[in-house]
Amino acid sequence: MSKQYSIYLDVCCLNRPFDDSSQDRIRLEAEAVLTIYRKCRLGEWELTTSEMIEAELRQTPDHNKAESIMAALTIAKHKVVIDSGLKQRASELVQFGIKSIDAVHVASAEAAKVDVFLTSDDRLMRTAFRNQTKLKVLVNNPVTWLMSLSSYEGDNAE
The answer as to whether 158 is a domain residue is no
The answer as to whether 47 is a domain residue is yes
The answer as to whether 72 is a domain residue is yes
Q: pTM score, two decimals?
A: 0.92
Look at the chain and report how many structural domains it folds into.
1
Q: Provide φ and ψ at 43, rounded to 5°.
A: 85, 5
pLDDT in tens, 107-135: 999 999 999 999 999 999 999 999 999 99
User: Rounded to whole angstroms, how far apart are CA atoms 28 and 31?
Assistant: 5
pLDDT in tens, 51-71: 999 999 999 999 999 999 999
Handedness of CA 24, 129, 135, 5 (dihedral sign): positive
What is the CATH classification number for the domain harbouring 34?
3.40.50.1010
Dmax (CA) of the chain: 45
The answer as to whether 1 is a domain residue is no
Residue 149 belongs to what domain range? 6-153
The answer as to whether 73 is a domain residue is yes
